[in-house]
A and B are shown apart, each in its own frame.
Chain A
Amino acid sequence: MGRDITAAEFEELYRDTARDVFGFLRRRTTGDAEDLVAEVYAVAWRRRADLPAPMLRRAWLFRVAHNLLKADARRRRREGAVVDELAARPDGSGTAADGPPGTGRAAVIARAMDRLSPGEREVLRLVVWECLTPAELAVALDVRPGTARVRLHRARQAFASDPEVKALVGSVGCSVG
Chain B
Amino acid sequence: MRTTPSTDDHDRLVAEAAPAAPEAVDIDIDRVWHRVHVTMTEEPRKRRGLRLLAAGVLAAGVLGGTAVATADHFSARTGKGPVDAEDLRLGGPGESLDVGAPDYGEVVAEESADIPFPTEGFRAIAIRHQLHDVRFAGPGEQYVSTGALRAWLADQALCAWSSEWAAATRSGDEAARTEAIETIQAAPTWPAVVDLDPAPYSRMESGEEEGEDGEVRTFRYRDESQFYYLAALGEAVDGRSIDAVADILAENNGYCRPELVPGIPRADAMVRFAER
Contact = CB atoms under 8 A, between A and B. Distances in A.
A45 to B, nearest CB: 5
A62 B33 CA distance: 17
Interface stretch (B104-112, B120-128, B130-138, B158-166): B130-138
Contacts, number: 175
A124 to B, nearest CB: 5
A128 B11 contact: yes
A80 interface: no
Interface string A125-157: 101110101000000000001000110011011
A53 B149 CA distance: 14
A160 B4 contact: yes
B51 interface: yes
B4 A18 contact: no
Interface in A162-176: 165-166, 168-169, 174, 176
Interface in B35-92: 35-37, 39-40, 43, 48, 51-52, 55-56, 58-59, 62, 90
A174 B23 contact: no
A101 interface: no
Interface size class of chain B, counting residues whose CB lies under 8 Å from the partner chain: 35 or more
B4 A166 contact: yes
B32 A41 contact: yes
Interface stretch (B12-20, B181-189, B231-239): B12-20
B15 A18 contact: no
A113 B17 CA distance: 8
Contacts of A15: 29, 33
Contacts of B221: 149-150, 153-154
Contacts of A154: 209, 219, 221
Given A90-B19, A176-B16, A177-B275, A161 B24 contact: no
B6 A160 contact: yes
Contacts of B33: 11, 14-15, 18
Given A129-B15, A176-B13, A161 B4 contact: yes
A153 B222 contact: yes
B270 interface: yes
A165 B212 contact: no
Interface of B: 3-7, 9-24, 28-29, 31-33, 35-37, 39-40, 43, 48, 51-52, 55-56, 58-59, 62, 90, 100, 133-142, 207, 209, 212, 219, 221-223, 254, 269-270, 273, 275-276
Interface of A: 1-5, 7, 9-15, 18-19, 22-23, 26-27, 34, 37-38, 41-42, 45-46, 49, 53-55, 90-92, 105-106, 109-110, 112-113, 117, 124-125, 127-129, 131, 133, 145, 149-150, 153-154, 156-157, 159-161, 165-166, 168-169, 174, 176-177
10 contacts: A14-B36, A26-B22, A42-B40, A49-B55, A91-B17, A109-B16, A112-B13, A157-B3, A166-B4, A177-B276
